[in-house]
Amino acid sequence: MAIERTFSIVKPDAVGNNKIGAIYSRFEDAGLKIVASKMLHLTKEQAEGFYAEHSERPFFGALVGFMTSGPIMVQVLEGENAVLAHRDILGATNPAEADAGTIRADFATSIDENAAHGSDSLESAAREIAYFFSTEELCARTR
Ligand code: UDP
């Protein structure tokens, strides 16, 4: 099993609903360790840059509006097969299709406001971590 790092966002809807701790508990209960974490209120430019791959999609403007509508938590999670393990507990993009017990099934209301983000590959994880964190901000969890 490979120890990986992946990137995660608790989105503005879930922060607004006071679910930061509940969602962090899901990470820890799944064996994922938080190795960096901070609260941010994204600018339009930051949100557009983060979701640049979706810039031609019809929902892009609404997505940027949603992601800048309130503060978010950004975090780096570490663990065995962290990218897939995190996507598994996140659930499908559309909460109506997410498996019972997943973060999106339990905390999201719609595909537009779906509570949390998780990197979809190791390559995306590396890019997304670097978008928000310097290497000095990533902590070793050796204890
Ligand atoms: N999204 C949306 N409407 C759609 C599809 C996606 O608002 O029809 C948003 C949603 O917040 C999603 C994000 O765009 O989380 C990125 O989409 P992606 O397909 O990468 O899904 P994810 O990797 O987040 O599950």
For ligand 1, atom 21, name the residue with the nearest CA: 93
For ligand 1, atom 22, name the residue with the nearest CA: 93
pLDDT value at 129 more than 90? yes
ipTM of the complex: 0.97
pLDDT value at 88 more than 80? yes
Instruction: Point out the annotated binding site for ATP.
Output: 11, 59, 87, 93, 104, 114
Tokens at 27, concatenated: 């990470």
CATH number of this structure's domain 3-137:
3.30.70.141
DSSP summary character for residue 98: S
pLDDT digits (tens, 9 = 90+) for 101-118: 999 999 999 999 999 999
* Ligand 1 contacts CB of residue 63 (under 6 A): yes
Determine the Cα–Cα distance for residues 123 and 19; give it in Å rounded to an integer. 28
